[in-house]
Amino acid sequence: MTKFSRSFDVAALSAWDAAHPDNAVRELFTMWALPGAANAGNGRLRIGLRDKYLNFYVKGQSVAKLSIVAGEPTIDVHQAYVDGKARDRSPSRTKNIQSYRIFRGADLSSSDTIALLTGWISTAETYASAEKRFVDDLVGANAGVIDLEMALPANKQPGEDPVAPRMDLVVVQAHKASRPAIAFWEAKCANNPELRAKNGSPKVIGQLKKYSDWVSVGDRLSEVAVAYRNTADVFLRICRHFKDEDCTAPCGDIWRSLANAEAPSIVSKPGIVIGTYWSEGHREEVASGRMQQCADSFQRNGHRATLENEGVAVHEVGPFDETAVLPLLPLQQVPN
């Protein structure tokens, strides 16, 4: 069974960056918008830590993978982004081949590579769906977001699905007079059919159950706790090197609290957060009325009640709304 873990060689990256003052890696981190901060100016990217590498995202869409190979940084970028091949929505479109361009070492300290970054990012953004953009809005409103697109490695138990779906958001909750808690959210737009069912449970209930089943196997609880403590430590060290030596942003306090926690709690039941608007920049934002109609029918036709009757916390978010700040999920946790 593959272990769930989070790690990155920050020391090697910092040493390489110090020896190469002008480089594409530093430029990527310059564009890092911290959790709790909306995209503004040059701050366009979010970061997700994986096992031994970082993913950079624009509007929830993966842009580039950063890893350390033989002590030097390596960036993998989809060939479509390198070629500037924006998303094609025409009926005659051809599917992109899953091919990646690799930049490493000296390539990354080249001014030519640095000049390519904005093109990669702008092209990647054309592939960002409404729900991915909604997730980015949530990261901007919640300093406690510690991960996005959390991929769950397979448990490989007989008779079970080989892998649970990705969880859209992982959030550090700070409950008064208690240790930090790790909570999980599935993000959907109001027009997503997985939120509705004429008979029986909506598909999203099955998705959440797969997570609950996954985390109940073996040492998954302790793996998740350790992984996100490591994530907090990595983010602090990266922030100190590339952004702010004291990491004074609100997310910095959350990272310090989690990194120093002996055993963070793990909330057993994920919540569902529902966007009732088209996020800024989406091609269908002009049709915002259609999304509102979907949100109204979600309430009127009892779909929200169906989810809540299944014991799921449901939170709806409108445009430019304070409700983008996620509530605390109840600490009815799996023992760990």
How many whole angstroms separate alpha carbon 170 and alpha carbon 316?
17
Structure tokens at 20: 């190469």
Burial class from Cβ neighbours inside 10 Å (0-12, 13-18, 19+) for residue 37 reads middle
Mean predicted confidence (pLDDT) in 230-247:
96
> Of 171, 135, 149, 141, which is closest to residue 254 (Cα–Cα)?
171
At 335 the pLDDT is: 44
- Determine the residue type at 309: N
321 pLDDT higher than 80: no
Q: Can you give the pLDDT at residue 333? A: 45
Residue 163's pLDDT is 61
Q: Quick one: pLDDT band at residue 160, thresholds 50, 70, 90?
A: low
pLDDT confidence bin for 89, thresholds 50/70/90: confident
**pLDDT of 42 over the 70 cut:** yes
Helix (H, G, I), strand (E, B) or coil at 226: helix
Question: Which amino acid is residue 258, in one-letter code?
Answer: L
In this predicted structure, the answer to whether residue 290 has a pLDDT above a threshold of 90 is no
Among 57-61, 199-203, 221-225, 283-287, which is the least confidently predicted range? 283-287
Strand partners, 47: 56
Task: Give the pLDDT mean for 107-126.
Answer: 95
* Per-residue pLDDT at 336: 45
- What is the mean predicted confidence (pLDDT) over 18-32? 96
pLDDT tops 80 at residue 233: yes
Name residue, tokens 């924006």. 86
pLDDT of residue 92: 65
- Which single residue is written with the structure tokens 């003052």? 21
pLDDT tens per residue, range 138-156: 999 999 999 999 998 887 6
Among 210-224, 287-301, 315-329, the minimum mean pLDDT is found in: 287-301
Residue 218: left (phi > 0), alpha (psi -120 to 50), or beta?
Answer: left
Residue ranges of the domains in the chain? 10-129, 131-324
Q: What are phi and psi of 103, to 5 degrees?
A: -120, 130
Position 268 scores a pLDDT of: 81
Kindly state the average pLDDT of the residues 216-222. 90
pTM (two decimals): 0.92
The predicted-structure confidence for 72-83, as pLDDT tens digits, reads as follows 999 999 999 999
**pLDDT for residue 59:** 94
Q: Are 266 and 221 contacting, i.e. CB atoms less than 8 angstroms apart?
A: yes
Res. 198 pLDDT band, cuts 50 70 90 = confident
Q: Is the predicted pLDDT of residue 202 greater than 50, yes or no?
A: yes
| End-to-end CA separation in angstroms for the chain | 19
Residues 6+ apart with CB under 8 A from 302: none
Examine the pLDDT at 136 and tell me if it is beyond 60: yes
Number of C-beta neighbours around residue 26 at 10 A: 18
